[in-house]
Structure 1
Amino acid sequence: MIIRQRTINSKYSEELAAECLEWIKEVTGEPINTSGDMDNFFEVLKDGVILCKLVNALQPGTVKKVNESKMAFKCMENISAFLEAAKAFGVPVQETFQSVDLWERQNLNSVVICLQSLGRKAHNFGKPSIGPKEAEKNVRNFSEEQLKAGQNVISLQYGSNKGANQSGINFGNTRHM
């Protein structure tokens, strides 16, 4: 179990975590410590309050009630509310995390991935974004004539059978000695 946890922790990037915290501070205006070390990242986000304030800063009223209580189930409610909002904002399910990943400090790297993914969507809400810009759709429309012309082309991937014959094929034949 300890080895597995070390493997998960080895994927954690302090630089990306610091970038996420810096972005959260910029979007929310909250005075938070933006150090990317694991302990600080966990302490800043563990109760879910900052996460709820983040999604409310992106789109006001997203999380109706932010629980300021430090009781475990109230903190888990905050984290769950953030996750639901992140999914609604377009963060893919595979880029989100489980509440226990943050609350029990099991996989902080997945929290960073989720925040990075949400950060890429921030420009949709008129806020600064982080990370690489998302690709946009590049829809192409072909005419019927162009589509028919494409059916007559033999792709080079099909290869050629020039000079092919069946000489040398003896599978299933009897051997003559």
Structure 2
Amino acid sequence: MTTVAAASNTMADDLWRDCAAWLTRCNIIPNDHRANHQDSDIKVLATILRDGVLLCNLVNLFDPSSFDRKDFNRKPQMAHFLCIQNIKLFLEACKTNFGLKEADLFEPTMLYDLTNFHRWFHSTLCADREN
């Protein structure tokens, strides 16, 4: 019999793997990236999304006019302010350009601090559905 915790872990595992697969289909991460390996875990994907660069690239792929490129920092080198700024650009584009509701979004610090994985993977996949 599957426990609620085990089912929840399976759903969370499916969610981040779906997100990695989608980012690969969008050519945001390469097919052979560690996040796509069978033995990978959620932290691998979380770590590469943490600075907001790939998320901004994703938004730019769908709508190049979604934010002012001068506000986007391509090399934040994990500087808190710059990473949060990139994440905020992504979230604002999701809301403004793709029609996501506030309830579908996450707080920028959740991604930067690598907390509440489910919430920010949900937001990323919602952006896909709206596009």
Q: TM-score range by the shorter chain?
A: 0.7 to 0.9
Contact 1:27 1:58 in 2 (8 A): no
Under a length normalisation based on structure 1, what TM-score does the superposition of the two structures give?
Answer: 0.58
The structure whose Rg is larger is 1
Q: Which structure shows the higher helix fraction? A: 2
Q: Which residue of 1 aligns with 2:84?
A: 76
* In structure 2, distance between residues paired with 1:44 and 1:12: 21
Q: Which residue of 2 aligns with 1:14?
A: 13
Contact 1:47 1:75 in 2 (8 A): yes
Corresponding pairs, count: 115
The root-mean-square deviation of aligned C-alpha atoms, in Å, is 2.3
The residue correspondences of 1:16-31 to structure 2 (distance < 5 A) are: 16-31=15-30
Under a length normalisation based on structure 2, what TM-score does the superposition of the two structures give?
Answer: 0.77
Structure with the larger RCO, 1 or 2 (CA within 8 Å, 6+ apart): 2
Aligned-pair distance for 1:116? Answer: 1.7
* In structure 2, distance between residues paired with 1:96 and 1:11: 22
* In structure 2, distance between residues paired with 1:43 and 1:111: 13
AA at the equivalent of 1:79: I
Contact 2:51 2:84 in 1 (8 A): yes
Aligned-pair distance for 1:27? Answer: 1.6
The residue correspondences of 1:2-151 to structure 2 (distance < 5 A) are: 13-31=12-30, 32-35=33-36, 37-63=41-67, 64-65=69-70, 66-67=72-73, 68-70=75-77, 71-88=79-96, 89-122=98-131
* In structure 1, distance between residues paired with 2:49 and 2:28: 15
Q: Which runs of 4+ in 1 moved over 6 A?
A: none
Aligned-pair distance for 1:37? Answer: 2.0
Aligned-pair distance for 1:42? Answer: 1.2
Structure 1 segments unaligned to the other structure (5+ residues): 1-8, 123-177
Structure 2 segments unaligned to the other structure (5+ residues): 1-7
Q: Which residue of 2 aligns with 1:153?
A: none
Cα distance, 1:61–1:100 mapped onto 2, change above 3 Å: same
* In structure 1, distance between residues paired with 2:101 and 2:66: 18
Cα distance, 1:86–1:107 mapped onto 2, change above 3 Å: same
* In structure 2, distance between residues paired with 1:33 and 1:58: 24
Q: State the identity as a percent.
A: 28
